[in-house]
Amino acid sequence: MNYYAKKSASIVLADWHPADIKAELNKKGLTLRALSLANNMHQDSLKTALRTPYPKGEHIIAAALGHEPEEIWPSRYAKRMFKAVIPPQAINA
């Protein structure tokens, strides 16, 4: 399941739609509620990962789907992996 979004003349992978994530879980006989309870969490905890960044929940959902969280939510991980490039002259100044 690859979604593409155009962004300033370059193609970037887009996050999976929440309905697609739920559908993939359902195909495997799972629900967000069941996954939450199986991981000793409140029954609605994993719903949070569908609408807002929640690394622990993202990893649980991704593992259940057999993917890496970076594949399901590439925009979230692009922001987390950002490293500022500071020129050496700025450090020594």
Q: What is the CATH number of the domain that holds 32?
A: 1.10.260.40
- Tell me what pLDDT residue 80 has: 73
Distance CA 30, CA 85 (A): 42
Residue 41's domain spans which residues? Answer: 17-92
Structural domain contains residue 68 = yes
Mean pLDDT of 22-45: 96
Mean pLDDT of 20-39: 97
Structural domain contains residue 59 = yes
Question: Between these two residues, 49 and 82, which has the higher pLDDT value?
Answer: 49
Sign of the CA dihedral running 12, 13, 18, 20: positive
Specify the number of domains making up the chain.
1
Structural domain contains residue 28 = yes
| pTM for the whole structure | 0.75
- Tell me what pLDDT residue 41 has: 95
Structural domain contains residue 12 = no
- Tell me what pLDDT residue 8 has: 47
- Closest to 19 measured CA to CA, from 1, 41, 42: 1
